[in-house]
Amino acid sequence: MNQDNIGKEESGLTAIYNTYLLYADLVPNWKDLSKSDLCRKYLELKDAGETTIAEYYFAAIVCRYWPKIPRFYKDSHYVVTQEECYDWLIDAILYAFEKRRWEDKDSSVYNDPSGPDKCINRKMKCIRLNALLYYNKDKRLSNVGAFIFY
């Protein structure tokens, strides 16, 4: 399997990506907007009740972060599937939108122009590290059990 194509041509995620891309193309100039600007616009539209247009922005956000899936899969392929890396991405985006740390005065990313991007990246790394921790914990426990003499 060619590592460069993970998350696009050779993956079961192709249909999902193409669907997101179809909806992202309904956002004018979405490729030129920063990730943080897309996030802020999504939240602004969602808060205003414009859910349909907000979902187009969500699709654009997912497409902009899509390259993270193959990168995280490449580093974690012994632990997870590509689909789980996709789940990490969606979970990280939704968590960042729920917490909105860039709007919290006590946060280190308060009023940071790249706040949403930093929060999503940080959460995705955190989810990956937690998965690796659980994998290594289970691996250690199974190895310890193998060496117990009765």
pTM: 0.83
Angstrom distance (rounded) from CA 95 to CA 59: 16
Predicted confidence (pLDDT) at residue 130 exceeds the cutoff of 80:
yes
Q: Are 73 and 85 in contact (CB under 8 A)?
A: yes
| pLDDT tens digits, one per residue of 35-80 | 999 999 999 999 999 999 999 999 999 999 999 999 999 988 888 8
Angstrom distance (rounded) from CA 33 to CA 53: 16
Which among 117, 138, 131 is positioned nearest to 35, based on CA atoms?
Answer: 117
pLDDT score for 9: 47
Model confidence band, residue 26 (pLDDT cutoffs 50, 70, 90): very high
Angstrom distance (rounded) from CA 91 to CA 59: 14
